[in-house]
Amino acid sequence: MVAIGMIAALAVSYGTAAIYGLRYLFGRQKAPRKIQVLVAALADVPEGGSLLKEDLTRQKFLLVRSGENIRAFSTACTHLGCQVHWNPAGKTFFCPCHDGVFDADGNPVSGPPPSPLAQKTVNIRGSSIFVSMDEV
């Protein structure tokens, strides 16, 4: 009787370890839900300028304004992840690590960056700016 109890306990222990091991190895299987988050007021972003913000996972992004159009770009360079900066005079993003340059649409124009900057969806409601983010 004791042997059956020990075998059952061992099976439960190994089963639990397997579940947590698989969760660690494969992570979350379904995509996180997107939510709209209020990040700033229109008046906070100057014409032609930018405003540095953080999403819910503490990843930085830049709100860039051109007239009434506001776009949200990741600040992580697609080359090695260094933080890019908005240059309002040239209307470009600049990565100081390896002199990478992106145009106003986030597309690489010079240097080593292989792909465009990631963007988030922006909605303007009245004078408020909402950005679509992954729920954590």
**Contact (Cβ atoms closer than 8 angstroms) between residue 117 and residue 62:** no
CA distance 48 to 27: 40
Minimum mean pLDDT range among 15-24, 60-69, 110-119: 15-24
DSSP 30: S
Cα separation of 120 and 135, whole Å?
Answer: 13
81 in the same domain as 65: yes
Each residue of 4-36: pLDDT tens digit?
Answer: 888 888 888 888 888 888 888 887 677 888 999
Task: Please give the structure tokens belonging to residue 42.
Answer: 């229109």
pTM equals: 0.75
Say yes or no: 49 and 18 in one domain. Answer: no
Q: By residue range, what is the domain housing residue 78?
A: 34-134
Is residue 26 domain-shared with residue 52, that is, in the same domain? no
Based on the domain organization, do 7 and 66 belong to the same domain?
no
Residue 12, both tokens: 């439960």
Structure tokens at 56: 């819910």
Same domain, 25 and 43: no
Average pLDDT over residues 56-75: 94
